[in-house]
Structure 1
Amino acid sequence: MTLYDAACDGLARSPKRFLVTGAAGFIGSNLVEALLRLGQSVVGLDNFATGHRHNVEMALADCGDASAQDRLTFVNADIRDADACLEACKDIEVVLHHAAIGSVPYSLADPLTSHICNVDGFLNMLLAAKQTDVRRFVYASSSAVYGDDENLPKLEESIGRPLSPYALTKVINEQYADLFARIQGMDVVGLRYFNVFGKRQDPNGPYAAVIPRWIAALLRGKPIEIYGDGETTRDWCYVENVVQMNILASTTPDSDALNAVYNVGAGSRTTLNELYEMIVASLRAQMPLDDPGPPAYCAFREGDIRDSLADISRARILLGYEAKFDLAMGLEDSIGWYCAHMRGGD
């Protein structure tokens, strides 16, 4: 039995009460689904600024448990509201904080709103968790904190200068978390997500992530655009790996594993050109697909990191993390989901 299997078994035998912020978002709704499947009580908080009500509805439907509705309480609130954060944290044992504006281009266009949501909102949640004696606070950070550091793979103890306001908000979050752990005695764990993808990731809008945007475009017969020369590399991490890390971070009894940050990736990197070919091949394996032709290449985007690769040894050693899904496996699952949910051009 792996440490992850043991953690899931322990939760199933002794349920906890979780708060998931950003519960109507992509990662948040996958966490809600996984927790409900394990028999946990969940409070989901979201203001629907970037999340969708149908994500919560699908999480309930997909968890396969008729009692899940009774174990989920949804709060329509904003983490910028300190009183709402305090109320949501009452009687909570573990906070999984994922509410944020998670877009580099958005932060460049509107740094003030990104800061208020990502920093002020984060501090509101930390304060609320402290005041209500939450046992553990697990939060989403980002590989964006590595900034202009060119070393590969990325090691948690070595970050560069931020390349965007979004990246800076995550650096500040990590510093606040470390401060609260040292001064307030809180059990805090930060998760530096690399390029997460999977079901329910929104393919629409100007700030949509690469994988869902490309899948949607190919399903709709629209052209694909690649920023730069296509040789930019990313460590693509399927969302089920992220779920695993949240559960491990929430349950570890090892004090040495607490009050730290961890890379959350697959531990491998793929160019955008290679990613495009893999998506096309995976789509063709699941449905008829006309030849999309070569992608169009555009200018590099401001604030983008050129190369990214996670060293996941700290997570493996201290938490027992193993990236169970590689890029190919994650794409197969994700494309199956998008094919089932985007018929008719939805």
Structure 2
Amino acid sequence: MSEKIVITGGAGFIGSNLAECLSRDNDVLVIDDLSTGKMENLAGMDVRFLRGDLTDQGLLKEAFAGARCVFHQAAIASVKKSVENPMRTNAVGIDGTLNVLIAARDAGVDRVVQASSAAVYGSSPNLPKKEDMLAEPMSPYAVSKLTAEHYARVFLELYGLKTVSLRYFNVFGPKQDPSSEYSGVISRFISALLRDEQPVIYGDGEQTRDFVYVNDVVSANILASRAAPGIYNIASARSISLNTLIEVIGKILGKEVVARHEPARAGDIRHSLADISRAKCMGYIPRFDLEDALLETIEWFKKQ
């Protein structure tokens, strides 16, 4: 049976991949202010689109009416930009999330699944990261995500609004815009190498990340729409250094890669690796091998 689903930030990277999947069997309404999202990401999809931002509570309440689930993907997904402009990050990440939760409560929405981030863990050397670890956010972006998680928990406890927060680790895949300053390292590496440009690594390149393919993130969101409320790590549970990563991409492209190293960026963490035991309890299994997912991503970029 078709259900009404709302996706905030649905014209962005993760949101549009989620919309593509959900629109096959559901009535999907995408809300996006197009500050970073793109209409072309929704091309060919059977979705309704509403241009607006999270400050418009009236728009949100009207949009959420009759929806079973809201997937809250809208954010300023950049540590760097949050360091430069913490007020803007607060307005979108905290005030905007609170507006979403209030509108969902008032419209009788059953559940909100929101995008959080592994950035909340900060620089603690303890690995792998588990959801019950002490959060030590190192940037305004991470603070905004942690605060949004607390608001989600409070709305569950006070108002009975079912909420799930998904702590994304480093997501990559098709529709990630390499020209955006919000983009991830994989899309920037691929784009640079396809243009025969020298890719840039901030720091010595020995920092590690847990990369997860966007298709696995989409699956996690869909599972979360029926799972027990709470916080879940969404990752591959495998880490790789940026130096090794760029070698793997170069190998797939048949190119010898020499990266240009620039100073490390403020707010960036050193190592990241997830424990996904809790996510497995809701049925989440990362199905995409890194090299296979990189190959799919590279093929998508070649067609652009």
User: Following the alignment from structure 2 to structure 1, what is the Cα–Cα distance between the partners of residues 182 and 10?
Assistant: 19
1:218 to 181, 184, 193: 193
Which residue is 1:249 aligned to?
A: 224
- Counting only pairs closer than 5 Å after superposition, residues 167-206 of structure 1 correspond to structure 2 as 167-206=142-181
Runs of 5+ unmatched residues, structure 2: none
SS in 2 for 1:19: strand
The structural deviation recorded for 1:84 is 1.4
Contact 1:237 1:326 in 2 (8 A): no
The structural deviation recorded for 1:283 is 2.1
1:86 to 41, 46, 61: 61
User: Which string of whole-angstrom CA distances, capped at 9 and with x for unpartnered residues, describes residues 93-141 of structure 1?
Assistant: 1000001101000000111111101111100000000001101110000
- Counting only pairs closer than 5 Å after superposition, residues 127-276 of structure 1 correspond to structure 2 as 127-252=102-227, 257-258=228-229, 260-276=230-246
Contact 2:8 2:32 in 1 (8 A): yes
Cα RMSD, aligned residues only: 1.1
Which residue is 1:7 aligned to?
A: none
Q: Is 1:302 aligned with 2:289?
A: no
The structural deviation recorded for 1:281 is 1.4
TM-score normalised by the chain length of structure 1: 0.86
SS in 2 for 1:175: helix
The structural deviation recorded for 1:167 is 0.2
Runs of 5+ unmatched residues, structure 1: 1-13, 61-67, 342-346
Contact 1:191 1:262 in 2 (8 A): yes
SS in 1 for 2:189: helix
User: Following the alignment from structure 1 to structure 2, what is the Cα–Cα distance between the partners of residues 264 and 329?
Assistant: 19
SS in 1 for 2:30: strand
Which residue is 2:17 aligned to?
A: 30
User: Following the alignment from structure 1 to structure 2, what is the Cα–Cα distance between the partners of residues 180 and 20?
Assistant: 19
Contact 2:77 2:182 in 1 (8 A): no
Contact 1:20 1:42 in 2 (8 A): yes
Give the residue type in structure 2 aligned to 1:33: E
Q: Is 1:315 aligned with 2:279?
A: yes
The count of corresponding residues between Structure 1 and Structure 2 is 304
Query: Measured at CA, do residues 170 and 276 of structure 1 come closer, stay the same or move farther in structure 2, by a change above 3 Å?
Result: same
Query: Measured at CA, do residues 21 and 314 of structure 1 come closer, stay the same or move farther in structure 2, by a change above 3 Å?
Result: same
Which residue is 2:289 aligned to?
A: 326
User: Which string of whole-angstrom CA distances, capped at 9 and with x for unpartnered residues, describes residues 54-102 of structure 1?
Assistant: 11115x2xxxxxxx3xxx2100010121111111111111000001101
Q: Is 1:40 aligned with 2:26?
A: yes
User: Following the alignment from structure 2 to structure 1, what is the Cα–Cα distance between the partners of residues 57 and 124?
Assistant: 35
Query: Which protein is bigger by CA-based radius of gyration?
Result: 1
TM-score normalised by the chain length of structure 2: 0.97
User: Following the alignment from structure 1 to structure 2, what is the Cα–Cα distance between the partners of residues 309 and 31?
Assistant: 24
SS in 1 for 2:134: coil
User: Following the alignment from structure 1 to structure 2, what is the Cα–Cα distance between the partners of residues 251 and 207?
Assistant: 30
